[in-house]
Amino acid sequence: MFSVAFCIGVLLIMVITNWLYNWWNPKCNGVLPPGSMGWPLLGETFHFFARNTSSDIPPFVKNRMQRYGPIFKTSLVGRPVIVSTDADLNYFIFQQEGQLFQSWYPDTFTEIFGKQNVGSLHGFMYKYLKNMVLNLFGPESLKKMLPEVEQASSVNLKRWSNRTTIDVKDATAQMIFDLTAKKLISYDSEKSPENLRESFVAFIQGLISFPLDIPGTAYHKCLQGRKKAMKMLKNMLQERRENPRKIRSDFFDYVLEELQRKDTVLTEAIALDLMFVLLFASFETTSLALTLAVKFLQEHPLVLKELTEEHEAIIKRRENPDSGLTWSEYKSMKFTFQFINETVRLANIVPGIFRKTLRETKFKGYTIPAGWAIMGIDTNGASRNFMAFGGGMRFCVGTDFTKVQMAVFLHSLVTKYKWKAIKGGDILRTPGLQFPNGFHVHIFEKDK
């Protein structure tokens, strides 16, 4: 009896030792990048999610770069991952999309954004969806949208200037959400009995978080929010199906038309996932960037001065100073675009680009095994390496939309208003950017 138990014990120890050995020394037909796989199963997940307040390279990455160099291995949420801060490898990854690498995001992402979200689709279906999105947020649409964006900025700034304080993060998020939701699904937050935006709260925290679905975690909040928002979107689409419009006026109409076509590849589930991603991506990212922009202007008066001069000059050049912004005026905002790019770079809203290695890949003497995840991180943001909006085939489809929103809002802000910081404005990264206490300011009209 004793000897059987002893044998089982020895066998168990051997299996565990072997498993641990393989965990710390993953199989590879070459030289793996240096680095540590951390604790069994947990890997270095907790180090990765550790909160930090720096605007520099995340401490998790910086410490390992110093120890191992620009390319290192680790393990996050149960997966082996290569982290690349090497500009050449990151460029190579973008160029090889669909060949050696494929867009891949952690399970937290797919659970929250839906298994058929645009970031997880490949090949024909991906191209089809991308075209649909470009139709909505591409330059031609944006040209038409310019007066609407200006109107939204003016009306909201006027409203905010009548209050003692506003939280820039929350207020700009609401403004952009209202605009996008109107365009996509004709949703009007003031007329609707349910608050759609509420369901998107805590998203940035939950997206790249520890996937623990229990009450109290950011991940849990996100999943609950998704459920609620998807139910609302589904009901709205159904309602539209029952009461179709004569003239196509929003994205819902477009989707319904597509779904009715015999040869369509679109399904209702894919359309709803896309709607959900677009609603989220459009307001959360841009409002973070805008809040940081207002904070930077507050902290750098010379930048504010140059920005104001550029926008006042636009108005001075006009025959009628009250006429709205034109597309060529928008295109002429040289300094504004530099300021926006720099803000978005420092904001680092998408802290890493995730891919999966489709085939074993050799790079700079290292071998990356097939199936491993790669996280590309931008550490210097210079020209070719500027990755804030991604790169290659999957370059952010909302880039121009973000720039229009930001530039037009800044135009209205600096030409007509001044503001005073009241409280908040502190930055937290987990590793996504957050303003834990918001950024509260008092906005008031400039003396004419």
**Sheet containing 166-167, strands listed edge to edge, beginning at the edge strand earlier in sequence:** 166-167, 439-445, 417-424
373-376 and 79-84 beta bridge pairing: parallel
- Which residue, among 193, 220, 218, 224, has the nearest Cα to 206 in the 3D structure? 218
How many other CB atoms are there within 10 angstroms of residue 300's CB atom? 13
With contacts defined by CB under 6 A, name the span among 36-44, 280-288, 302-310, 433-441 that binds ligand HEM. 280-288
Token readout for 83 is 């982290």
* Chain position whose Cβ is nearest to ligand HEM: 398
Q: What is the 3-state secondary structure (H, E, C) of 83-149?
A: EECCHHHHHHHHHCECCCEEECCCHHHHHHHCCCCHHHCCHHHHHHHHHHHHHHHCHHHHHHHHHHH
Q: Which residues share a beta bridge with 39? A: 43
Shortest separation between residue 98's beta carbon and ligand HEM, angstroms: 11
Binding ligand HEM (rule: CB under 6 A), the pick from 32, 236, 266, 353 is 353
Q: Is 394 one of the binding residues for ligand HEM (CB under 6 A)?
A: yes
Q: Is 132 one of the binding residues for ligand HEM (CB under 6 A)?
A: no
Q: What is the dihedral sign for C-alpha 52, 56, 61, 65?
A: negative
Shortest separation between residue 272's beta carbon and ligand HEM, angstroms: 14
d(CA 217, CA 225): 13
Q: Is 285 one of the binding residues for ligand HEM (CB under 6 A)?
A: yes
Binding ligand HEM (rule: CB under 6 A), the pick from 397, 404, 408, 433 is 397
Which amino acid makes up residue 155?
A: V
Nearer to ligand HEM, 209 or 285 (CB): 285
Shortest separation between residue 426's beta carbon and ligand HEM, angstroms: 20
Q: Is 396 one of the binding residues for ligand HEM (CB under 6 A)?
A: yes
Nearer to ligand HEM, 65 or 293 (CB): 293
With contacts defined by CB under 6 A, name the span among 79-87, 129-137, 251-259, 302-310 that binds ligand HEM. 129-137
Binding ligand HEM (rule: CB under 6 A), the pick from 84, 286, 357, 379 is 286
**What phi, psi does 217 have (nearest 5°)?**
-85, 155
Shortest separation between residue 19's beta carbon and ligand HEM, angstroms: 32
d(CA 404, CA 330): 8
Binding ligand HEM (rule: CB under 6 A), the pick from 45, 84, 90, 103 is 103
Binding ligand HEM (rule: CB under 6 A), the pick from 38, 211, 398, 438 is 398
- Considering CB under 6 A, how many residues would be counted as binding ligand HEM? 26
- Interface residues with ligand HEM (CB under 6 A)? 103, 118-119, 130, 133, 137, 277-278, 281-282, 285-286, 289, 344, 349-350, 353, 388-390, 394, 396-398, 401-402
